[in-house]
């Protein structure tokens, strides 16, 4: 997961999606060998030299100032998420060294929050999308075919990205699977920019690129997306069709707490209640 390569490919793909007319440049009818803006055109728009921009895109300049990166982001018409991603890839943070991320653990505060949410479906994800914990209903909603205690096995935790692309149960759970897949990859791209020296993240990306052509195609697009709120159609094997909002809360440790909710008094809300009741009946002790 070479940081220089990530930076270069991200800039190239963002530049390729722009046409001269999109940014107010005159088109003289000359044939272009590659789609999108030329490097020198982008450099002109950003107010930097063509040679400097070329070195940045080739990964030879990882010390760009925030002002230069903002100018390039403006020229590329990046949105806020893409702009943050560019800063992660090319800003001064990249010079701090190759310190590997610390192991991920749930804090007492996160456990208290999960307990307070009761029957609400909750999944806690680490920076790579590993499932660190889930509530009983969260487990039943997302991966009831797996063991409830599987997140406790640090060497074999379920990974939400892996499930989306390689698990038949998860694919069937989302009738609009393609939208869910794009959101998951967009989030993983952000993680790759924030943690370029995480070997387990690099291994996950390599594994999925080999196993899933769909993942490989989405990954090569370099699209980033902070999907903190998503509305998904889901079809659960026990309670049927639901329309659920998945909202993400971020902890200080960089973990994501994903909470699933439904419109009050809707059919989807009633389906979630049935799922929670089913889980409660499953774990309730049998009285003599």
State the pLDDT at residue 284. 56
State the pLDDT at residue 206. 94
Does domain 3-95 match CATH 1.10.260.40? yes
d(CA 169, CA 171): 6
State the pLDDT at residue 258. 95
From first to last of the 288 residues of the chain, give the pLDDT tens digit: 566 778 888 888 888 888 777 766 666 556 666 678 888 888 888 888 888 888 888 877 667 788 889 999 999 889 888 898 888 888 655 444 455 667 788 889 999 999 999 899 999 999 899 999 999 999 999 999 999 999 998 888 999 999 999 999 999 999 999 999 999 999 999 888 888 888 899 999 999 999 999 999 999 988 888 788 999 999 999 999 999 999 999 988 889 999 999 999 999 999 999 999 988 877 655 454
Long-range contacts of 56-60 (CB under 8 A, 24+ apart): 56/7, 56/11, 56/90, 57/7, 57/8, 57/11, 57/12, 57/15, 58/4, 58/8, 59/2, 59/3, 59/4, 59/5, 59/7, 59/8, 60/4
d(CA 28, CA 160): 48
Q: According to CATH, where is 3.30.450.180 located in the chain?
A: 108-283
Q: According to CATH, where is 1.10.260.40 located in the chain?
A: 3-95
State the pLDDT at residue 94. 47
> Which of 3.40.50.920, 3.30.450.180, 3.40.50.2300, 1.10.287.70 would CATH assign to domain 108-283?
3.30.450.180
State the pLDDT at residue 179. 93
State the pLDDT at residue 262. 95
């Amino acid at each position: 997961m070479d940081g220089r390569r990530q930076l270069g490919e991200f800039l190239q793909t963002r530049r390729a999606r722009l046409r001269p007319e999109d940014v107010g440049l005159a088109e003289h009818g000359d044939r272009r060998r590659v789609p999108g803006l030329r490097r020198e055109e982008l450099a002109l728009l950003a107010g930097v030299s063509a040679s400097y921009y070329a070195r940045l895109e080739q990964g030879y300049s990882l010390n760009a100032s925030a002002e230069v990166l903002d100018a390039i982001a403006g020229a590329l018409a990046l949105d806020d998420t893409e702009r943050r991603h560019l800063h992660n890839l090319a800003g001064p943070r990249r010079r701090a060294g190759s310190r590997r991320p610390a192991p991920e653990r749930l804090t007492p505060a996160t456990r208290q929050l999960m307990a307070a949410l009761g029957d609400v479906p909750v999944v806690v994800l680490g920076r790579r999308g590993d499932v660190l914990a889930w509530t009983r209903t969260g487990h039943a909603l997302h991966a009831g075919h797996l063991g409830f205690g599987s997140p406790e096995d640090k060497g074999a935790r379920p990974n939400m990205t892996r499930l989306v692309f390689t698990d038949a149960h998860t694919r069937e759970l989302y009738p609009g699977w393609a939208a869910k897949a794009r959101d998951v990859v967009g989030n993983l791209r952000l993680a790759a920019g924030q943690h370029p020296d995480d070997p387990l993240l690099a291994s996950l990306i390599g594994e999925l690129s080999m196993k899933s052509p769909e993942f490989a195609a989405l990954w090569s697009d370099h699209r980033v997306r902070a999907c903190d709120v998503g509305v998904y159609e889901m079809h659960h094997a026990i309670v049927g069709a639901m329309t659920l909002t998945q909202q993400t809360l971020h902890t200080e440790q960089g973990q994501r707490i994903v909470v699933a909710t439904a419109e009050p008094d809707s059919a989807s809300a009633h389906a979630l209640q049935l799922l929670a009741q089913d889980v409660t009946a499953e774990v309730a002790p049998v009285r003599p």
